[in-house]
Amino acid sequence: MELLVMRWRGPLRALAGARIDGYAQQMPVPSLTMVTGMLAAALGYRRGDPRIGALADALQFGVVVHQPGNPLVDFQT
């Protein structure tokens, strides 16, 4: 089994889930599609590339939260 460790740090993060009534739900951890998209972008795959689907099918991941964040509402115009 191959393993890749990614550490994400930053003052703000936006992990938006499904939109209900026009408001995106906040997710505490990234989804499979988010991780797949970041890896695909790092590999230089363009949107619609068939390799992205193969990457998502082969990917298994786990998440460790060392320091949970505090939800924040931001107004954007």
> Using alpha carbons only, how large is the chain's radius of gyration in Å?
15
Is pLDDT of 45 > 90? yes
Count other C-beta atoms under 10 Å from residue 77's C-beta: 2
Is pLDDT of 12 > 80? no
Of 16, 62, 55, the residue nearest 36 (C-alpha):
55
Q: In 2-43, at which residue ranges do the beta strands (DSSP E only) sit?
A: 16-20, 23-26
pLDDT at 50: 94
Mean pLDDT of 7-29: 77
